[in-house]
Structure 1
Amino acid sequence: MKIKYYQYIFSLFCTFLIATTISCNNQNRSNKAENKSEIGATRLKYTTGIRSILEDSKGNIWFGSYNEGVCLLRNGKLQYFTIENGLSHNQVRNIYEDKNGVIWFECGKGLSIYDGQKMVKYTETNYNSKNEWKLNDNDLWFKGDAIEAYNKIEGNPGVYQYDGKELSYRALPVKTKPGQENHYSISTNFVRSKNGTLWFGTFGAVIGYNDSDFKIIDDAFLELNDQTGHLHARSIMADSKGNLWIGNNGIGVLKYDGKKVVNFTKQQKLKKEETKGNSLEKVFSIGEDKLGNIWFGTAGSGVWRYDGKSVQNFTKEDGVESNHIWTIYKSKKGELWLGGASPSGVYRFNGVSFERKF
C-alpha cells in the first residue's frame, strides 16, 4: 500500500511539474509576442527611405517618406497617409508646423496640411505679388509646385511664402537658360541664420535674403568650373555660431562664415582620393546636436561628426545601417535622429553609437 501511495504522490508531482513548465513556456511565448507587437507598432513600414521628420507641439512625431506618404506616431500608434488620404504627392520632402499648430507637408508636387483631424491639399495661392519680398519671423517657405523646374503660372524659379494668412509665390532673382530649367529648383529645406538671413538651397545656387538684399552663392561666386566640379546643393544648415553649411552631391561640404567660403571637405582631406574609402563628398543632410557638434549625412559613406577639432565617421559597424542619410533631426529631448534609406529607418545616437528607433 505504501508503495502505491508514494507512486501516486510522485505521479501528482510529475503532472504538476509538466503543467508548470508548459504554462511558463506559454507565458514566455506570450510575452515575446507582446514585446514583438510593441516593437512592431513603432517600426515604420516604409522601404524607400525617411525623407523628413517633425516632432510637433502636441508631442506627435511625423515621418515623411521618399515615395510612400507620411506617417503620424501618436499615443504609441502609427497612422499612415498617402495621396488617397489627402496628400498632394507621396514624396514628403519637408514637414513644418505653423504658429496655429497646423502641420504643413512640402511634397514632391504641391502642399498638404493637417489640422488635427484631417489631411487636405492646400491650393489657395496668390500669384499677384511675385516680387513683393518681406520677411516675418513666423513665415513658412516652400519649394515650387512642380516636381521639377517651375510651372506656367509661376513662370520663374521661386518659392512660396505662408505668412499665417495667405500663401504667395515669390520669384527668385535668377533666370534659367534653355535646357537648365531645373537649375534653380529648391533642393533643401529653408533655414534662418543667426543674423536673420533667410537661406534657400537650389541645385545650382544657395540664395540668401536679409529683408533688403539677396546674396547668391553659385559657381561664379565660388569660381567653380568643369575641372573643379560644380555646385550641386542637397542640404544647408545654419549653426549656432552663425556659419552656413552647404552639403553638395559631388564637391563636399562648404562652410560660409558671412565673409568667405571654405571647402570643408578639402580642408579636412576627406575627398575620395585622400581617404581611399568613405569620403565626405556626397552630403545630403546636415545637423547640429545640443553640444554644438556638426553632423553630416552622406550617400554611401555613413554619417560624420565634427567636434570643432576632428572628424569622426560612423558606419554600419556603429549602427548606421542605412547607406543614404536623407535627414538629421534633433528631437525636443535633444536626441539626434537620422532618417535613412536602404534600409529605411530612423536611428538614434546614444552617445557612442546608433540604434534603430523607428
Structure 2
Amino acid sequence: MTKSVHICALFMLILSTLCEGQGQFGLPKGEIYEKQELITSNVPKTITRNFIQDSKGNTWIAAFDGIFRYDPKRPVGQSFTNITGNVSSARFFAVLEDKKGNFWFSTTYSGVYYYDPSRADGKTFQHFTTKDGLASDQVLDIYEDKAGNIWFGTKAGASRYDPARQSDSLNAKGKSFTTYKMNEGLSRFDPYDNDVNSIVEDKTGKFWFGTRGNTFTFDGEKFKVVTHNGESFLNVRKIIEDTKGNIWLASAEDGLWRIDGNTFTNFSQQPTGYVYEDKMGNIWTSSKSPYNGSEKWALSRFDAQTLSNQKPTVTDVMSEYEDYKNLIFGISEANDGSIWFGTLSGVYRYDGNAITALNK
C-alpha cells in the first residue's frame, strides 16, 4: 500500500468533470413532481457510472445524461426508457432500488432524487438537497442497510436517511437525515476522509466506508481506520461483501484486496476502480491494464474456483474499441448472464465471447 498523492492521476479526468458547474437542473426544491418517462432507442453516450438489476429483471443505468431503464422484454428500439429525461438535466452517479421497490438516484451536484413508480396520481419524484439535511449535494453512493435506512456517500460525510421519521410528503425538513463524519474523534486524519465513495454493512452489522482518504469501519458508535501491517487503505472506490462474507476493497492506490476476518489477501496491485461478484461467485474488476505499460483499463474476471489459490485464474477482457478512453466504471450482471459496464463514452456489454458497444 502506498502513501502517494491521494488524488490518483488516473482519476483526474473524472474529478475535473465532476467539478464543473452545476448548470440548471430544472426541479425546484421540496416538491413532488409528476411521472414523466421518455421511451427512446438511445442509450447513455457519455460518462456512465453505475448499474443495478431490479426486482423485475430490468437493468437501471446511472449516467451523466440521465437515469435509464432497460427492459429486455420490450421490442428492439423501445427497450430503453429515460426515466429522468423530462425531469432533470442533472448528472447522475448512482442508482438504488430499496426494499419497497422505490428508487433513489444520486447526482454529482444536485443532491438525490426519490422515485416511486407505483403512485397512482403520477407524482413520482421527490428531490432532496442540503436544504433538507443532506450533507452535500455531491452524492457518489447510495446504500440500504438491514434496518431499511438509506445511506448516502457524499463529498462531506455519510448521510443516513431514516424512513421511519419521514412525513407523508417525504420531506421532514432535515429531521430524517443524520450525517456522520469519518474523522470525528481521530487525533490524525486525512483531509479526504469525509469524501465518501462506498458504504457497505457486513454480516455482523458493522459498516465499512471507503473514502478518498482512509478506509473506515463503524460499529454504531465509533469509526476506526482499517489498517494492515501498519498501513491504511487509501482512495477506496468500491467496497462489497461477497456471498461468503468476505470484504473486498477496490483501491485506486492500493489495488484489489480481500479481507476475511483478520486475513488480508492482495489480488492485484494495479489501481482498481470497481469490484463486483456475479451469480457464480466470480469477482469482476475494472483496473489499469498491467500489460506493456498501457494506460488502458481492463475488465477482469477472477475465477471463483481459484480464489483460494496463491495465483487465481484471471481473465482480462480487452477490446478493440478505442472509445473506452482509458477508464471503466460500474459493473453489473444481467439476468441473461451478460456483463454490463460503463465507460466515459457510454455502455458496453460482454457476453462471454465479445464486447458490444451499446452507444452506437
The interval holding the TM-score normalised by the smaller chain is 0.5 to 0.7
Q: What displacement does 1:215 show?
A: 4.0
> Which of the residues 326, 329, 334 maps onto 2:332?
329
Change (3 A) 1:138 1:263: same
How far, CA to CA, are the matches of 1:241 and 1:179 in structure 2? 32
CA distance in 1, matches of 2:79, 2:265: 45
Q: CA deviation at 1:86?
A: 4.1
Q: Which moved more, 1:97-106 or 1:339-348?
A: 339-348
Structure 1 segment 176-187 matched on structure 2, within 5 A: 181-187=191-197
**1:122 aligns to what?**
128
CA deviations 1:158-198 (Å, max 9, x no partner) are: 3323445443223134149999643321113x223343433
CA deviations 1:79-99 (Å, max 9, x no partner) are 335586147x31x22211223
* Change in 2 beyond 3 A, CA 1:164/1:355: farther
CA distances 1:304-349 after superposition (whole Å, capped 9, x unpaired): 11112322211115x8973422111133x2624232214321313x
- Quickly say closer, same or farther: Cα 1:73–1:305, change in 2 above 3 A: closer
After TM superposition, the runs of 4+ consecutive aligned structure 1 residues lying more than 6 A away are 176-179
- Counterpart CA distance in 2 for 1:250 and 1:70 is 30
CA contact (8 A) 1:71 1:81 kept: yes
1:46-84, CA deviations, whole angstroms, 9 ceiling, x for partnerless residues? 33221111233344432111x322223354343335586
The match for 2:151 is 141
| Corresponding position of 2:82 | 80
* Structure 1 position 282 matched with structure 2 position 293: no
Check if 1:311 corresponds to 2:310.
no
User: What are the ranges of 5 or more consecutive residues in structure 1 without an aligned counterpart?
Assistant: 1-39, 128-134, 151-156, 267-280
Give the whole-Å Cα distance in 1 for the aligned partners of 2:223 and 2:336: 33
Residues in 2 aligned to 1:351 and 1:283: alpha-carbon distance in whole angstroms: 21
Answer yes or no: is 1:223 the counterpart of 2:230.
yes
- Tell me how large the CA RMSD over aligned residues is: 3.4
Residues 106 and 143 in structure 1, CA contact (< 8 A), matched pair in contact too: no
CA separation in 2, counterparts of 1:288 and 1:96?
Answer: 17
Which residue number corresponds to residue 65 of structure 2? 68
| 1-structure distance, mates of 2:68, 2:102 | 16
8 Å CA contact 1:303, 1:314 repeated in 2:
yes
Query: Aligned letter for 1:347?
Result: R
Mapping 1:23-62, distance limit 5 Å: 42-44=41-43, 46-62=44-60
Q: Given the alignment, which residue of 226, 232, 235 partners 2:235?
A: 232
Q: Which residue of 2 aligns with 1:302?
A: 298
User: 2:211·2:234 contact (CA, 8 Å) conserved in 1?
Assistant: no
The change in CA–CA distance for 1:126 and 1:48 in structure 2 (over 3 A counts) is closer
The number of residue pairs the alignment matches comes to 275
* AA at the equivalent of 1:236: I
- Supply the AA of the counterpart residue of 1:85: V
3-state SS in 1 of match to 2:226: strand
Answer 1 or 2: higher relative contact order, Cα 8 Å, separation at least 6: 2
User: 2:240 matched to 1:262?
Assistant: no
Q: How far apart in 1 are the matches of 2:221 and 2:283? A: 30
The residue identity in structure 2 corresponding to 1:292 is: G
- Mapped to 2, the partners of 1:217 and 1:82 lie a distance apart of 38
Q: Counterpart in 1 of 2:26?
A: none
Q: Report the AA paired with residue 282 of structure 1.
A: P
Q: How far apart are the structure 2 equivalents of 1:342 and 1:313?
A: 19
Alignment partners' CA distance in 2, 1:68 and 1:324: 18
Q: Which structure's CA Rg is the greater one? A: 1
Q: Which residue of 2 aligns with 1:344?
A: 346
Partner in structure 1 of residue 249 of structure 2: 246
Identity among equivalent positions (%) equals 22
Please state which structure has a larger fraction of its residues in helix. Answer: 1
- One-letter amino acid of the counterpart of residue 93, structure 1: F
Inter-partner Cα distance in structure 2 for 1:242 and 1:320:
37
- Residue 130 (structure 1) aligns with: none
Query: Aligned pair in 2 of structure 1 residues 241, 354: CA closer, same or farther (>3 Å)?
Result: farther
- Conserved? CA contact 2:47–2:342, under 8 Å: yes
Are the counterparts in 1 of residues 191 and 213 from structure 2 also a CA contact under 8 Å? Answer: no
Q: Is the 8 A contact 1:320 1:347 kept in 2?
A: no
Preserved CA contact (<8 Å) 1:243 1:258: yes
Whether the 8 Å contact between 1:194 and 1:241 is mirrored in structure 2 is no
Q: Structure 1 residues 222, 321: closer, same or farther in 2, change over 3 A?
A: farther
Q: Which residue of 2 aligns with 1:132?
A: none
CA shift, 1:101, in A, is 1.9
Distance (whole Å) between structure 2 residues aligned to residue 312 and residue 58 of structure 1:
30
Q: Distance in 2 between matches of 1:137 and 1:84?
A: 33
Change over 3 Å in CA distance of 1:196–1:284 after alignment to 2: same
Which letter maps to 1:159?
Answer: S
Partner of 2:217: 208
